Amino acid sequence: MQEITQDTVQLALDEAVSQVRRNLPLFTYRCQNHSSVKNFYPPCDNTQWTCGFWPGEVCLAWQHTKDPVFLHAASILAESFLHRIENKIEVDHHDMGFLYTPSCVSLYKLDGNERAKRAALLAADQLLTRFQEKGSFLQAWGAMDEKENYRFIIDCLMNLPLLYWASEVTGDERYRTIALRHTDTCLKHSFREDGSTFHTFFMDPENGGPLRGETCQGYRADSFWARGQAWALYGLALSYRYTRDERCLSQLSKSAAFFLSRLPHDLIPYWDLIFTEGDEPRDSSSASIAACGFLEMADLLDDTQADLYRSWAKKLMQSLYASYRVTDPSYSNGLVLHGTYSKKSPYNTCTPEGVDECVSWGDYFYMEALMRLSGSWSTFW
């Protein structure tokens, strides 16, 4: 696979920004559904865990163009996030980072928006309420303390930058301490010897000890949900940036090698890495997330290793651009086709949704990776 060139990066960004611009009328006062339906996102209320990604794209469009129309839309969307957290609407879960980092931390960092800052700090406080002392982890879903919900998931590494940021802006170490404790538990239990990951991991509510790894959205408990592996790559890279914990780095190189060893010819993963050929749906979003993780790592490593990760990121992005991007707005209002949110298997527990569709985080991380490659990125995470 060729690496994406700088010219193509600029072209891809311009195309993405045009699509974001076309979408503003539909998604300034409403949010974008987690996934498309027949390649078109319907609008939705600000109630899903995924609602932060569309405002993130709007912020990236503003960062790229400095066109005030994007800043205006991002500010309106941020109000909806302030309303959501002030009124505690669908926030009893750990996804505060996914929600509030691309939508509000972004806007605060880019434009000093104080209401966005307030929303993101309230979200960080909300995330702290998910911490379980017994077992030392942030509980992902469901009522706190229920045995069947006493677990964390690999995705949560991406929620932690919200806590590190909250400590930085408030000077309150509590947020950082909880993030570090969760990371420690995750490093101990979420990874298998070969570098692959468990999607979810149960702890014992009686004594806080480790119980077992399981899956929700992967094919089977012992398989390798592609997006979980991608969340791990980017999450570890971000964790290393904030902690300089060498365990993050060594786990990252093992987990990256595993991810890369399970990719099909065009480098875009199937929805579970147990599949390496055949007709199963792809999850293009995993490729964008992994590309961001590799680029984050490249900024933190010495030159030789950095070049390797940067090269993989460029190859993933070339494949996405060449064969997965939306080229015709009458075909889709998304940016990247062939994502998979949740595919039912005989062995998993998920609700089937968004199979072989655009997914909002896939679009967001595609744009973020392009911005990183363009050299004009300053981090939201």
Q: How far is the CB of 4 from ligand GLY (least distance, A)?
A: 24
In 3D space, the residue among 206, 164, 193 whose CA is nearest the CA of residue 181 turns out to be: 164
SS (H, E, C) the chain: CCCCCHHHHHHHHHHHHHHHHHHCCCCCCCEECCECECCECCEECCCCCCCCHHHHHHHHHHHHHCCHHHHHHHHHHHHHHHHHHHCCCCCCCCCHHHHHHHHHHHHHHHHCCHHHHHHHHHHHHHHHCCEECCCCEECCCCCCCCHHHCEEEHHHHHHHHHHHHHHHHHCCCHHHHHHHHHHHHHHHHCECCCCCECCEEEECCCCCCEEEEECCCCCCCCCCEHHHHHHHHHHHHHHHHHHCCHHHHHHHHHHHHHHHHCCCCCCCCECECCCCCCCCCECHHHHHHHHHHHHHHHCCCCHHHHHHHHHHHHHHHHHHHHHCECCCCCCCCCCECCEEEECCCCCCCCCCEEEEECEHHHHHHHHHHHHHHHCCCCCCC
Known catalytic residue at 279: no
User: Of the two residues 227 and 372, which places its CB atom closer to ligand GLY in the complex?
Assistant: 227
Q: How far is the CB of 155 from ligand GLY (least distance, A)?
A: 4
Of residues 303-342, those binding ligand GLY (CB under 6 A): 341
Known catalytic residue at 45: no
Q: How far is the CB of 271 from ligand GLY (least distance, A)?
A: 10
Q: How far is the CB of 154 from ligand GLY (least distance, A)?
A: 9
Q: Out of 67, 95, 145, 363, which one is annotated catalytic?
A: 95
Q: Pick from 84, 176, 182, 227 the residue near ligand GLY by CB under 6 A.
A: 227
Q: How far is the CB of 341 from ligand GLY (least distance, A)?
A: 6
User: Of the two residues 8 and 228, which places its CB atom closer to ligand GLY in the complex?
Assistant: 228
Q: How many CA within 13 A on the CB side of residue 184?
A: 8
Residue with token string 């080229």: 327
Instruction: Write each residue from 134 to 173 as x if it is in contact with ligand GLY (CB under 6 A), else as -, in one continuous string.
Output: ---------------------x------------------
User: Of the two residues 153 and 249, which places its CB atom closer to ligand GLY in the complex?
Assistant: 153
Q: Out of 92, 155, 272, 279, which one is annotated catalytic?
A: 155
Sign of the torsion angle spanned by Cα atoms 95, 98, 101, 103: negative
User: Of the two residues 19 and 217, which places its CB atom closer to ligand GLY in the complex?
Assistant: 217
User: Of the two residues 117 and 338, which places its CB atom closer to ligand GLY in the complex?
Assistant: 338
**Residue nearest ligand GLY (C-beta atom):** 155
User: Of the two residues 217 and 239, which places its CB atom closer to ligand GLY in the complex?
Assistant: 217
Between strands 339-342 and 200-203, the pairing is: unpaired
Q: How far is the CB of 230 from ligand GLY (least distance, A)?
A: 9
Q: How far is the CB of 225 from ligand GLY (least distance, A)?
A: 9
CB of 242 closer than 8 Å to CB of 179: yes
Does the protein bind ligand GLY through residue 117 (CB under 6 A)?
Answer: no
Sign of the torsion angle spanned by Cα atoms 313, 319, 321, 325: negative
User: Of the two residues 4 and 268, which places its CB atom closer to ligand GLY in the complex?
Assistant: 268
Residues that bind ligand GLY (CB under 6 A): 155, 217, 227, 341
So which residues are the catalytic ones? 95, 155
